Structure 1
């Protein structure tokens, strides 16, 4: 039996924990308190005393039709991004689950895009899928305007979802492959002897046993789609929120309001609403989706 470490004086563990506690207070709790305070005040952009305005910032936010457009765009982006990344990661994990020659190198290539920064991936796909000189240029030469993210908001939204899925599919692949390796091989081998093909074995045996992993990834990817740093970086470097606010997700709008528009109070109010929206979706996932998850 391992012995527990016992400190004879209280100041030694406190001294060890104090730097970490200071970092948490400085970079997590203090900004959170400041955002809540700014949401209910009119914060001058260049310093000075703030004026308490109550719910006026929230009323201005809810009265702006462009804000509701960003809510719809964020919901579409988060849902589509979550489903696509999990589906791609699941297909890749099922494809390399077997121990075959060269499977290690293939797994490394699948994980590699996750190491690339979101803004860099956005810039790369901006040129790769450019309607004038990219891969879609030959398609546009036959069908004009078949693909033009600089002109159509729906095309631009598809573009940022594709970049997000390409970037984060490797992340979901890691967890799903680890989950598949924990599935007893005797079950899949018995199903194969009964005549079940790979797709049937995946649907009837492997995917149901991945329910905890799929639930974890759905919560994680939904949160990343709403407030992730890569979400802002991809949108900022790929479409800059356009065209016509077609890809202006909530996190991008908040950053632009705060640092370009210098509207700290409005951005803080939008941050509070975004946090509330994430809490609602997380509650729905834990309240209704987790009921279908079996951990044994």
Structure 2
């Protein structure tokens, strides 16, 4: 007897293959919007409405304590842009932002390189590096206030016993500015280290080993391999640190220096966000403060566009 072999036709092979799972389809057009409704309500109440109200108030002369409003058009913006106090606040904010972003990211990169090494107790070291970011700005400012108090602070106690000096950290303009910059760098250090550690752990080990076999030193491997491969993360951290420097510095400044000490037209640590608070709440100029908020939004947008135009070209998206 002869055995006959039968092959399935192509149509039967296709039927034998597992069909792809069907994607979920909403039976009603209103059902997706119903799921999105809680998020949309939260965004509308806490984001969209305040933004629109701020834009409207910037064209009025009003007070947080008074119910009367008077339409002034662009007078708030004209007064701001011609104010020496506001000019000094802008300059101080830009200098503060440049120092904290540059030094903070560079220091976080170096610490992440050290923390990424396979040594005993690495998890403890990483936890200690990340811990400062878990603190609120108010608590971080209080810690630095106690440490650098001219009379009872630990730093001055050590400097007095070792070098017989006790600097007036909070009363001297440049020392106060330096102190706020250091506190801001320390506060954001954990955030930057976390992202750099995650990026370093995704760098292929064989690439670094091949460079080491070819004779590349530690500095050459960092400069020619790690820095280009981590450039997308650096690009992201620059943007987030710029936003933190502009908006998250309020708590540190309010606890440490209250915007002072006075230098020039205003306090040397009276940055844009703190100047907005002083005009809006301390001086009860709601419309004036709203105009400052709009200008800060324009400043952030301008810095973001500039960063994407210039810094985006330096980002290396390797395969």
Same fold (TM over 0.5): yes
TM-score where L is the length of structure 1: 0.93
After superposing on structure 2, the runs of 4+ consecutive aligned residues of structure 1 that deviate more than 6 Å are: none
Q: Residue 49 and residue 151 in structure 1: after superposition, are their counterparts in 2 closer, same or farther (change >3 A)?
A: closer
**Could you give the per-residue CA deviations for residues 121-162 of structure 1, whole angstroms, max 9, x where no partner exists?**
1111112122333313443574656x3222221111111111
Q: Could you tell me which residue of structure 1 aligns to residue 79 of structure 2? A: 60
Q: Could you tell me which residue of structure 1 aligns to residue 223 of structure 2? A: 203
**Could you give the per-residue CA deviations for residues 41-87 of structure 1, whole angstroms, max 9, x where no partner exists?**
11243343422111111122123211111111111111111112111
- Structure 2: where are the runs of 5+ without partners? 1-19
1:235 aligns with 2:253: yes
Q: Could you tell me which residue of structure 2 aligns to residue 260 of structure 1? A: 282
Q: Contact 1:113 / 1:167 at 8 angstroms: preserved in 2?
A: yes
Q: Contact 1:156 / 1:239 at 8 angstroms: preserved in 2?
A: yes
Q: Could you tell me which residue of structure 2 aligns to residue 295 of structure 1? A: 317
TM-score where L is the length of structure 2: 0.87
Q: By how many angstroms is 1:220 displaced? A: 0.9
CA distance, structure 2, for counterparts of residue 270 and residue 158 of structure 1 = 25
Q: What is the aligned length?
A: 293
Q: By how many angstroms is 1:98 displaced? A: 2.3
Q: 2:32 aligns with which of 3, 9, 13?
A: 13
- When the two chains are superposed, the root-mean-square deviation of aligned CA atoms in Å is 1.7
CA distance, structure 2, for counterparts of residue 276 and residue 165 of structure 1 = 25
Q: By how many angstroms is 1:235 displaced? A: 0.5
Q: Contact 2:156 / 2:165 at 8 angstroms: preserved in 1?
A: no
Q: Over alpha carbons, which structure has the higher Rg?
A: 2
1:222 aligns with 2:242: yes
Provide the secondary structure at the position in 2 that maps to 1:150: coil
Provide the secondary structure at the position in 2 that maps to 1:136: helix
CA distance, structure 2, for counterparts of residue 250 and residue 4 of structure 1 = 49
